[in-house]
Amino acid sequence: MDIEIRQVRDTDVAEWEALVGGISASTFFHRFGWRGLLRAELGFEDRYLCALRNGRIVGLLPLMHVRSRLFGHSLTSLPFCSYAGPLASDASVEDALVESAVRLGIELDVERVELRGLRPLRCSAPRQDLYYTFRAPIPQRLESMKDLPQKRRNVVRRAVSLGLKAMVGRDADRFFELYAENARAHGTPALRRRFFRALLEAFPDDSDILFVTDASGKDISAILSFYHAGEVLAYFAGEMQAARETNANDFKYWSLMMHAASRGCTGFDFGRSKAGTGSFQFKRLWGFEPQPLHYAFPYLPKGIVPENNPLNPRFRLAIEVWRRLPRAVVDRLGPLLVTGLG
């Protein structure tokens, strides 16, 4: 074959980013900045691969070696990212990258190689059919709300009448208070405060935070979003209990759509949800149809697709206990547990 696969070097950043910018199937999670972020802040071992033809990078596969006492070792593309997977100039390059990932998984003696993508792999592999994304053009006539579904229009107008305001900033500490509270309410360990500081530093031009305040000026909801190829991706969310009483969620996403449009975006990605959950139904109410995410396991020696998610009945008791713990406790314990949940 005329394709060489090797691990990525720091000197590859310009070529890597150029390929991400030149292939329409790329996502924000293919950006090179995730490599250093996930390695430095979460302790994962970088195993990024690139494919070369005639000395030029023609394909890439971001991979992290995840070591978890709870869920076993994996080679994942990418932990804490909804989708990444192989990005290639042609089919033969994709095949070579996947084959190399499998060989690397065997060499590292992991329990699985997990490739998360917006589209299926060319090769046949076990899949996890659980997650969906919601992507569509940003509705027109946002300010008047005429192109919003009628019920969404009504609840957003109610939020406006209650005095809710939106502002965009980059204060990671301010965001963390809302995010950590939301994580505890869902029974999920939270990422470290410093992770969000580092995230915003890694992508200074392509990330921001939209905060929602109530009539008194108190923060009640927020969303940390990414921008890539004319699309905004609403990703890390946070909110207080009071947000539910004021329709702050609907107001937040309407405000984010207006902000993204002002930045020149034409597409909106509501982010990942599990089928059958409240967030899944909420996004459908906005007129966005679910599109399956393709989580494939080209290397799975035990043949059992993992179910490491909150819908698994095995974790129900732990989730309920976590919800009842004080914030001081979950803020201290969460970072010790969360890296295995990516």
Residue 327 lies in a domain: no
Q: Say yes or no: 105 and 161 in one domain.
A: no
DSSP string, 10-61: GGGHHHHHHHHHH-TT--GGGSTHHHHHHHHHH-PEE--EEEEETTEEEEEE
User: 3-state class of 305 per DSSP?
Assistant: coil
In the sheet with 56-61, reading across from the earlier edge strand, the strands are: 4-7, 49-53, 56-61, 87-88
Residue 302 lies in a domain: yes
Count of domains forming the chain = 2
Q: Say yes or no: 16 and 103 in one domain.
A: yes
Mean pLDDT of the chain: 91
| 10-residue stretch averages of pLDDT, the chain, 342 residues long | 92 97 96 97 95 96 90 91 95 96 96 95 88 95 93 96 97 96 81 96 98 97 98 96 91 97 97 91 95 96 76 62 69 66 60
Do the bridges between strand 45-46 and strand 49-53 make them parallel or antiparallel, or are there none, so unpaired? unpaired
Q: Say yes or no: 66 and 141 in one domain.
A: no
pTM: 0.91
Residue 172 lies in a domain: yes
Residue 25 lies in a domain: yes
Alpha-carbon distance of 21 to 288, in angstroms, equals 26
Residue 337 lies in a domain: no
Share of the chain above pLDDT 70, in %: 91
Q: Say yes or no: 114 and 150 in one domain.
A: no
End-to-end CA distance of the chain: 34
Q: Say yes or no: 226 and 251 in one domain.
A: yes
Residue 342 lies in a domain: no
Residue 69 DSSP label? T
Closest Cα to residue 200, out of 233, 171, 235? 171
Check residue 246 and give left, alpha or beta (phi > 0: left; psi -120 to 50: alpha).
alpha
Q: Say yes or no: 160 and 255 in one domain.
A: yes
Cβ atoms of 200 and 219 closer than 8 Å: no
Structural domain span for residue 261? 135-269
Residue 281 lies in a domain: no
Q: What is the pLDDT of residues 49-94, one digit of tens each?
A: 999 999 999 999 999 999 887 778 999 999 999 999 999 999 999 9
Give the pair of three-digit tokens for residue 147. Answer: 């192109």
Q: Say yes or no: 9 and 115 in one domain.
A: yes
CATH of the domain at 96: 3.40.630.30
Q: What is the pLDDT of residues 31-50, one digit of tens each?
A: 999 999 999 999 999 999 99
Q: Say yes or no: 121 and 9 in one domain.
A: yes
Please give, one letter per residue, the 3-state secondary structure of 194-215: HHHHHHHHHCCCCEEEEEEECC
Q: Say yes or no: 265 and 167 in one domain.
A: yes
